Amino acid sequence: MTTASKRAAEILKGLAEIRPWQENLYRDIHRHPELSHQEHRTANLAADKLRGLSYEVRDGIGGTGVVGVLRNGAGPTVLMRADMDALPVEEATGLPYASTVRASDAAGNEVPVMHACGHDVHVTCLLGAAALLAGGSDHWNGTAIALFQPAEEVGDGASVMVDDGLTTAVPPVDVALAQHVLPAPAGHVGTHRGPVLSAADSMRITVYGRGAHGSMPQAGVDPVVLTAMIVVRLQTIVSREVAPTDTVVLTVGSIHAGTKSNVIGDQAVLELNLRTYDESTRSAVLAAIRRIVIAECQASNSPKAPVFELYDRFPLTVNDAEVTERVSDAFAGFFGERFQPMAAQSASEDFSDIPKALKAPYTYWGIGGIDNELYRKALDAGRVSQDIPVNHSPTFAPVIQPTLDTGTQALVVAALAWL
């Protein structure tokens, strides 16, 4: 066992002591989820806990962001980040601590709210790691930063914190760390060098027709037919314009057009989502989408040019090779067979906006959250995709243990690779 592993083991002896309040806190946060930019209760819980651990706390950064700084002598500065927001999803887990919360979203609509992505796990694990580092300060030197970020789900929480002065709220950072609970066996940890999470772009496209009676199509320009042609043609971007060695996902998730069966409307709105792992590919595909839409509008004799709106944009997450190797070595030494390489994920994150602003290298890893027996049965039956709920599902429910223990251990072990 390395010196760092021995120090981690000493600090993690305190896990048994904090486990009861961690588990209770997790249930509480899960039961009281908050939408993006509305994480006031969660932020207050995090800030109060950090103050009780003697961290220097700044809250309200970017609205609800919280930063805790623990200085423990000379040495490197390690930033650990957790996201706090929940999703407009109605929970269907049947758990005794399931959410029944309803709230108003950014558009003023009342929606159900659920921690369907595991951010409640992230907050709880980071607070646990913060407590263990504070209690085990005899075993490390340097500065530990616990950062609780709002609005990851809408892709702007990190940039909002940066714009609100994050870089002056913390000392210079040597390395930034983050993790995410995934639909993998609980207790397992995985890392990945290079591009680990895709860049994401959502696009809203409005195309225009000319309204007419359904019995007289010759008098109109049908935006429904136009939209259908666009959807079909967009499928050729991935199959015919992207190299087979590149990974691209293009999904048309929403189409709105018309009001009645015998009325040809005057416009249609498509919403699509793009995932890419390379900036040049990202630019090429976005350009291809515009080219195809404009061409189909011209082919249909559309009376107006289409309107394009990009929103919910997420940066590419690229793990630093040296940082990832250092964390991987630490994980291998501590977790043994429970540590393994992780495939790149098609999900997206805005975490990288924080280390980019702080000019710090970073790595982002995954922890499993699914009951091991349930996962094994699904794997043996070849039904993982069908039987294992994934993030954003109304039935996504990480098991409390060993998920919380593992996420807390991972943060401590990774931080001590520097501290």
Percent of the chain having pLDDT more than 70?
A: 100
- Domain count for the chain: 2
Closest CA to 318 of 273, 361, 354: 361
Q: How far is CA 78 from CA 115, 178, 389, 413, in A?
A: 27, 11, 33, 12
> In terms of residues, how long is the chain?
419
Picking from 246, 281, 312, the residue at the C-terminal end of a domain is 312
Note whether 8 and 126 are same-domain residues: yes
Note whether 265 and 338 are same-domain residues: no
pTM of the model: 0.92
Compute the mean pLDDT over every residue in the chain, rounded to the nearest whole number. 96
* H helix or E strand, kind and range, residue 201: strand 199-208
Q: Is 117 annotated as a binding residue?
A: yes
Residue-range definition of the domain harbouring residue 182: 3-197+316-415
CA dihedral 19, 20, 23, 25 (to 10 degrees): -110
3-class secondary structure, 97:
coil
Q: Looking at the predicted structure, is the pLDDT value of residue 39 above 70?
A: yes
CATH code where residue 224 lies: 3.30.70.360
Note whether 304 and 324 are same-domain residues: no
CATH code where residue 158 lies: 3.40.630.10
pLDDT for 1: 65
Q: 319 falls in which pLDDT band (50, 70, 90)?
A: very high
Assess whether the previous peptide bond of 394 is cis (omega < 30° from 0).
no
Q: How far is CA 348 from CA 205, 317, 397, in A?
A: 22, 8, 20
- Report the alpha-carbon angle 82-87-93, nearest 5: 100
Note whether 42 and 150 are same-domain residues: yes
Note whether 151 and 248 are same-domain residues: no
Q: Is 296 annotated as a binding residue?
A: no
Note whether 224 and 259 are same-domain residues: yes
Note whether 320 and 355 are same-domain residues: yes
Note whether 179 and 258 are same-domain residues: no
Average pLDDT over residues 221-237: 97
Note whether 340 and 361 are same-domain residues: yes
pLDDT for 3: 76
pLDDT for 4: 77
| Tens of pLDDT, residues 261-318 | 999 999 999 999 999 999 999 999 999 999 999 999 999 999 999 999 999 899 999 9
Q: Looking at the predicted structure, is the pLDDT value of residue 224 above 80?
A: yes
| Tens of pLDDT, residues 163-213 | 999 999 999 999 999 999 999 999 999 999 999 999 999 999 999 999 999
Q: 5 falls in which pLDDT band (50, 70, 90)?
A: confident
Note whether 125 and 19 are same-domain residues: yes
Average pLDDT over residues 335-350: 94
Closest CA to 45 of 61, 32, 63, 35: 32
| Tens of pLDDT, residues 351-401 | 999 999 999 999 999 999 999 999 999 999 999 999 999 999 999 999 999
Note whether 406 and 259 are same-domain residues: no
Note whether 308 and 411 are same-domain residues: no
Picking from 312, 347, 375, the residue at the C-terminal end of a domain is 312
| Tens of pLDDT, residues 114-127 | 999 999 999 999 99
Percent of the chain having pLDDT more than 90?
A: 97
Picking from 255, 284, 312, the residue at the C-terminal end of a domain is 312
